[in-house]
Amino acid sequence: MTILCIDTSQATAIALVRDGKVLARTRNESGRHHAESITPLVREALADAGLPTTLTEAGLTAIAVGTGPAPFTGLRAGLVSARVFAAAASIPVYGVSSLDVIARQALDLLSQETEVIALSDARRKELYWARYRTEGPDDVTRLEGPEVESAADLARSVKSNAVRLVSCAPLPPHAEADLAGLEQGPIAPLDAAVLARIVTARLSRGLEDSLDTEPLYLRRPDIHGQPAARL
Please check whether residues 62 and 121 belong to one and the same domain: no
Query: Looking at residue 225, what is its pLDDT?
Result: 36
Contact of 142 with 109, CB cutoff 8 Å = no
Question: Within 10 Å of residue 56's Cβ, how many Cβ atoms?
Answer: 12
Does 225 reside within a domain? Answer: no
Per DSSP, the three-state class of 73 is helix
Does 75 reside within a domain? Answer: yes
Query: Looking at residue 33, what is its pLDDT?
Result: 83
Please check whether residues 7 and 88 belong to one and the same domain: yes
Please check whether residues 126 and 47 belong to one and the same domain: no
The neighbouring-strand residues paired with 166 are 118
Query: Looking at residue 30, what is its pLDDT?
Result: 82
Interval 71-125: pLDDT, tens: 899 999 999 999 999 999 999 999 999 999 999 999 999 988 899 999 999 999 9
Integer Cα distance of 113 and 199 in angstroms: 22
AA identity, residue 199: V
What is the CATH number for 147?
A: 3.30.420.200
Contact of 180 with 75, CB cutoff 8 Å = no
Contact of 46 with 16, CB cutoff 8 Å = yes
Please check whether residues 167 and 133 belong to one and the same domain: yes
Contact of 215 with 67, CB cutoff 8 Å = yes
Integer Cα distance of 102 and 167 in angstroms: 6
- Number of independent structural domains in the chain: 2
Domain span at residue 178? 99-187
Integer Cα distance of 36 and 229 in angstroms: 23
Weakly modelled stretches of the chain, pLDDT under 70: 160-161, 220-231
